[in-house]
C-alpha cells in the first residue's frame, strides 16, 4: 500500500503504471503486465507433460539402504547428525529436544529413528519466572517413531490438496476471482485476487495479522482475514502469508458445505488410512503428542496437545495454514502417495496430472520463490543437495519439514519440537538441508542411481508394510 492509499506493484513507479493504463486502471494494467500461467483445466493438461515418471509402490516397507543401492554409512551419518543436534555443545545450544527422522527411497523406508524427549519441560510455578523448567526425569516423555507432532505450516499441504481435488471435480476454478466464492472478500484490489494467487502467495496479503488478539471470536477472525487490506497489487510480488490459506480454507468450506477438518478427513487422511493425522487431536492422544512452547502471550501455559500457532488456536484448532498433527509414518504415506501420482494402497486421492500441477512452478516471475499449488519447489535452504525444479516440500515453524524428490523417487521427513520450550532457538534450515541432501547424495553416489532402473514398480508381498 502506498502512502496515498493506492496499491502499487513492487519495482514499478507510478509513472510506469500510468503508462500501462492510467491512474484509474492501475490494478488492471499491472495484472496484465504480470500475466499468470494458465490454470484449471488448461493447467492440468500442461502439467501432464512434465518429464518425470511416477512410481508404483503399493505399500511402503522397511529396507536396508544397501538393498536399494545406497551406502549405509552415509545414511547412518545423516541419522547420527539429527541426534547430535539434540545436545548442547560449547559453541551452540541444542536445536530441539526431540526428533523423528525418516528417509524413503524406491518404496523402502531406508532409515527411521526417534530420539530425545517429546516432553522435557514444564511451566514454572513461580509467576515471576521468565523461563520454563526441566521436568523431573521420571516425568519426561521419550520420543517414539509414532510420536505425534504439531505440523504447523505443513498443514498447508492438506489444504492445497483439498483445493486441487475440487479443481479436478470442476467445482473450483483456479483462475476465478476469490470473490466468486466469497463475496465478503472485499477491499481495494481484491477483485483481482484469484484462487491460484492464494496457493502461490502472490495475492498481496501482508505476511501476518494477529487475528487471535484483533478479533473476539472465531467468526469475526475468519471475516477479519478476508477483509485484511492488501499490501501490493495482486500478482506483482511474492509474500508468504498465512492469510492466503485461511482464505482458501473458507473457499473450500463454502464449496463443500463442510468444515476443513471434515473435508481433509473424508478426502485425504481417511482414504489413505492416516489414522494419526488430525486437527485438534483427542485428549486421549496427549501422551503421544510432542509438547511445544511455554506461551505467556497469550497466556496458555505449556502448550501440549493443542495447536501451537496462535491464530489457528483462536480458530478452534482448525485452520487452512496450521492445525494438523501427524506422525512421520503417516507423512511417509502422503509423500509416497504423491510420488505414486496420487494413489496409495489402491486408494486414489488425486489424478496424476493434478500431482504434476502441485509441483509445476507458477512463480517464474519471482526468482527464488518457485511454487506450485501450495508446495514450495527448488529451495536449497532446506532441501540441500536434493533441491531441483521437481523437488517439492514445506517447512513448519514448530520444527517440521518434508522434502519430496520426484526425480530420485525419494522423501525426507524431519519432525521436531524445536519450540519446546521456547521459539527463540536457532534456525533448523542447515539441519534440514543436510538431512535431505544426505539422502540425495547417497542416491547419486549409489550403485543404482536415478535413471531408468531407479524407479521401477515396487509391489511388496501382500500383508507387509504400512496399512
pLDDT, averaged per 10 consecutive residues of the chain (467 residues), comes to 53 34 33 38 49 93 96 93 93 95 98 98 93 97 98 98 98 98 98 98 98 98 98 98 98 98 98 98 96 96 98 98 98 98 98 96 97 97 97 98 98 98 96 98 79 35 29
Phi and psi at residue 401, to the nearest 5°: -160, 150
Nearest-angstrom CA–CA distance, 299 and 9: 39
DSSP 23: G
SS3 string of 84-153? HCCCCECCECCCCCEEEEEEEECCEEEEEEEEEEEECEECCCCCCCCCCEECCHHHCEECCCCCEEECHH
| Dihedral sign, Cα of residue 253, residue 258, residue 259, residue 262 | negative
Phi and psi at residue 458, to the nearest 5°: -120, 110
User: How large is the C-alpha radius of gyration of the chain?
Assistant: 22
The per-residue pLDDT for 451 is: 45
The per-residue pLDDT for 8 is: 54
The per-residue pLDDT for 256 is: 98
The per-residue pLDDT for 4 is: 43
Q: Residues 118, 146: contact at Cβ < 8 Å?
A: no
The per-residue pLDDT for 90 is: 86
Q: Residues 310, 212: contact at Cβ < 8 Å?
A: yes
Q: Residues 67, 111: contact at Cβ < 8 Å?
A: no
DSSP string, 303-335: --SS-S-HHHHHTTT--SSS-EEE-HHHHHHHH
List Cβ neighbours of 189 (8 Å cut-off, separation of 6 or more).
Answer: 7, 27, 204, 230, 233, 234
Q: Which residue's entry shows cell 493447467?
A: 43
The per-residue pLDDT for 10 is: 59
The per-residue pLDDT for 372 is: 97
- Grid coordinates in use for 213? 488478539
The per-residue pLDDT for 2 is: 45
Q: How far is CA 62 from CA 68, 150, 265, 340, 416, in A?
A: 11, 25, 26, 18, 22
The per-residue pLDDT for 51 is: 72
DSSP string, 222-284: HHHHHTPPPSS-TTS-----HHHHHHHHHHHHHHHSS-HHHHHIIIIITTTT-TT-EES--GG
β-strand pairing of 98-105 with 400-405: unpaired
The per-residue pLDDT for 38 is: 39
Nearest-angstrom CA–CA distance, 153 and 467: 26
Nearest-angstrom CA–CA distance, 99 and 144: 9
The SS3 assignment for 397 reads coil
Longest dimension (CA), the chain: 71
Amino acid at each position: 500500500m502506498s502512502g496515498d492509499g493506492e496499491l502499487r506493484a513492487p519495482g514499478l513507479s507510478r509513472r510506469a503504471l500510468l503508462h500501462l493504463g492510467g491512474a484509474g486502471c492501475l490494478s488492471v494494467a499491472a495484472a496484465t503486465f504480470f500475466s499468470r500461467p494458465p490454470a484449471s483445466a488448461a493447467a492440468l493438461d500442461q502439467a501432464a507433460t512434465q518429464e518425470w515418471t511416477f512410481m508404483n509402490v503399493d505399500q511402503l516397507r522397511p529396507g536396508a539402504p544397501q538393498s536399494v543401492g545406497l551406502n549405509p554409512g552415509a545414511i547412518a551419518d545423516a541419522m547420527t547428525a539429527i541426534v547430535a543436534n539434540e545436545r548442547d555443545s560449547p559453541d551452540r545450544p541444542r536445536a530441539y529436544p526431540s526428533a523423528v527422522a525418516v528417509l524413503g527411497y524406491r518404496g523402502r523406508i531406508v532409515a527411521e529413528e526417534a530420539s530425545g524427549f517429546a516432553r522435557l519441560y514444564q511451566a514454572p510455578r513461580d509467576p515471576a519466572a521468565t523461563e520454563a523448567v526441566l521436568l523431573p526425569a521420571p516425568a519426561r516423555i521419550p520420543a517414539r517413531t509414532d510420536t505425534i507432532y504439531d505440523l504447523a505450516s505443513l498443514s498447508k499441504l492438506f489444504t492445497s490438496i483439498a483445493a486441487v481435488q475440487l479443481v479436478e471435480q470442476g467445482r473450483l476454478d483456479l483462475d476465478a476471482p476469490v470473490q466468486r466464492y466469497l463475496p465478503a472478500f472485499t477491499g481495494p484490489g481484491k477483485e483481482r485476487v484469484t484462487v491460484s494467487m492464494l496457493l502461490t502467495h502472490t495475492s498481496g496479503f501482508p505476511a501476518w495479522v494477529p487475528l487471535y488478539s484483533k478479533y473476539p471470536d472465531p467468526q469475526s477472525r475468519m471475516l477479519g482475514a478476508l477483509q485484511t487490506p492488501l499490501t501490493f497489487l495482486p500478482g506483482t510480488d511474492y509474500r508468504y502469508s498465512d492469510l492466503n490459506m485461511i482464505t482458501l480454507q473458507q473457499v473450500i468450506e463454502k464449496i463443500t458445505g463442510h468444515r476443513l477438518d471434515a473435508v481433509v478427513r473424508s478426502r485425504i487422511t481417511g482414504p489413505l488410512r492416516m489414522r494419526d493425522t488430525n486437527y485438534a487431536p483427542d485428549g486421549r492422544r496427549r501422551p503421544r503428542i510432542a509438547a511445544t512452547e511455554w506461551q505467556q502471550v497469550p497466556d496458555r501455559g505449556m502448550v501440549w496437545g493443542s495447536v501451537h500457532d496462535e491464530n489457528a488456536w483462536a480458530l478452534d484448532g482448525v485452520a487452512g495454514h496450521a492445525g494438523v498433527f501427524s506422525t512421520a509414518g503417516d507423512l511417509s504415506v502422503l509423500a509416497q502417495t504423491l510420488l505414486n501420482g496420487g494413489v496409495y494402497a489402491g486408494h486414489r486421492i488425486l489424478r496424476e496430472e493434478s500431482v504434476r500441477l502441485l509441483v509445476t512452478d507458477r512463480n517464474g516471475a519471482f526468482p527464488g520463490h518457485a511454487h506450485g499449488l501450495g508446495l514450495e519447489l527448488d529451495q536449497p535452504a532446506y532441501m540441500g543437495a536434493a533441491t531441483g525444479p521437481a523437488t517439492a516440500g514445506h517447512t513448519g515453524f514448530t520444527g517440521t519439514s518434508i522434502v519430496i524428490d520426484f526425480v530420485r523417487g525419494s522423501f525426507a521427513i524431519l519432525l521436531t519440537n524445536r519450540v519446546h520450550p521456547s521459539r527463540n532457538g536457532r534456525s533448523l534450515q542447515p539441519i534440514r538441508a543436510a538431512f535431505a541432501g544426505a539422502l540425495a547424495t547417497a542416491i547419486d553416489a549409489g550403485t543404482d542411481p536415478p535413471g531408468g532402473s531407479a524407479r521401477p514398480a515396487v509391489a511388496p508381498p501382500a500383508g507387509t508394510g504400512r496399512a
